[in-house]
Amino acid sequence: MPGFTLTAQRLTPNAAKKCVVVFAEKGGKLTEAAQVVDEALGGFVKSTLKSSRYQGGMGEITRLTVGGGAIRSVVVVGVGKLSTATATWWHIGLGLGKTLDGLGVKEATIALGELEANTAACALKMVEGLHMAMYRFDQFKTELKEHQQPRFETVSVLTSTRSAREIEEQWPATQKLLAGNDTTRTAVNLPPNLANPQFMAEEAKKLEKLGVKVEIFDEKQLKKMGCNLILAVGGSAAEADQPRLITLHYQGAGKDAPTYAIVGKGIMFDTGGYNVKPGNSMRGMKFDMAGAAAVLGTMQALAARKAKVNVVGTMACAMNMIGTNPFVMDSIYKAYNGTTVEIGHTDAEGRLVLADAVAYTIEKFKPDALVDLATLTGACMVALGAKYAGLFTTKDALGNALKKAGADVGELLWELPSDDDYQSKSEVADICNDSAGGWGGASVGATFIKKFVGKTPWAHLDIAGTANAEKITGGNKYLKGGTGFGQRLLVTWLESLQVETAATPARKRRGRPAKAATGEAATSTGKRGRGRPRKAA
């Protein structure tokens, strides 16, 4: 994983060293901070850009070789119309990280200066992007040459003294967020012969040292509990790959404070079952557990950052295989909550494991709101490509809060319907898991899950197009493999709920959800630090 050191200090001409990053607005106009660096170089950057085709468009990057002196090279990053939106700076960081990694530099100085607002927040989002673009999954490559090895070690952000101190004070929390993101992405990227349901259970157990209570239910316990849908999907797997239902309970607020639940689909590999996938469609099905991986990474980050919020994370993990325990069309199973389900398609398995997991989580923990996320349908990919994940919700305020959190971190959501008209009907059972021939497939899948939610405020995120950096419309060109989509979004949303809880602990109410569950919590306004910045550890 990328493990660079970050420092921040006051912007001066002498602070810029070696590889220096500056920013240019539309038309190639250097920002004020870039002009400070350029003055130290005798106007070299401005004159060079003027004689080139460089226009400073968003994400347009060029490298200038300077020669001798403290500054060896300058990387000019286009920002178009300078923005103070944190998601914009995350995208800037992604492009910059890809460039610096490609150049093989060991350290870089970023001349950011002071923005009109959110300087520290924008700087840290940029560094998040830097880190995520430099993430590598190459642990199984045995022939990496020296020039292919990661080299980046240090980044220094040049800004005002006040913002520099804020950046360094908040960097440890950002590191913990990114560590959870790395956990999510690595779990998604691992091959299915290593990352099976038991692997997810073992990864969850590691969070106990952070104060997370972990419960793991194996196939025998699932049978006693009546989680027959999870068992149906995963029962044909090998003995070592039998399904697991895993709950992670983090209590960062008081016992009477609201509890929120996040539930992730963890199909560790999906053959499609007896509705077997074509060969090309089966490739990459190790990514079908990205929802559970996002839950794992979210819980890690919340616990490490000591978030003042109560959260239950549930991972429904199974391998959808063909074997001696048949899971076939026309079968009928009774779900955890007693609903009978006719199997109309064995490749519509994600909604089945989520149904049991959602029903169990609601009965056991009685959350004030529940969000599930899953690589659920190819139909959502057809509708939205890879720029947006699908959002389905029973509460507008909850949906709006999730959309805001996603916009803040660059993980966008687009709302789609989950009306009961999309419910797959059955002539012989309460409900069918059929995909309705593909028509409105994303809504059909979401509406199936909604059947098991009851009155609990609920949202479903279909991350099929966003969880894996595939070459489809709207895809992120700076990331490879698992993107970690949903982990930073969920952390941002859940931590936005902790302010009201910390200020005025509310007694748990029945029936009506706590206001914080719908995204109406107050916004934190922390005091700015003063004096000289401290060096990061």
Q: Which residues are catalytic?
A: 277, 351
Exposure of 57 by Cβ count < 10 A (0-12 exposed, 13-18 middle, 19+ buried)?
middle
Indicate the SS3 state at residue 411.
coil
Distance, CA of 289 to CA of 315 (rounded, Å): 9
Of how many residues is the chain composed?
537
170: Cβ contacts below 8 Å, ≥ 6 apart: 120, 124
DSSP 8-state secondary structure symbol assigned to residue 482: B
Helix/strand number for the chain, H first, E second = 16, 18
Put the strands of the sheet holding 431-432 in their side by side order. 332-334, 340-342, 431-432
CA 54 to chain centre: 33
User: How many Å apart are CA 121 and CA 87, to the nearest integer?
Assistant: 10
> Contact 299/207 with Cβ under 8 angstroms?
yes
- Specify whether the CB–CB gap between 342 and 327 falls below 8 A: no
The pairing of strands 332-334 and 340-342 is antiparallel
Alpha helices by DSSP H, 157-267: 161-189, 197-205, 219-225, 228-234
Q: Residue 301 CA to chain centroid, in angstroms?
A: 11
With the CA atoms of 502, 484, 397 and 381 taken in that order, what torsion angle do they form, in degrees rounded to the nearest 10? -170
What are the C-alpha distances in Å from 359 to residues 229, 265, 313? Answer: 11, 14, 13
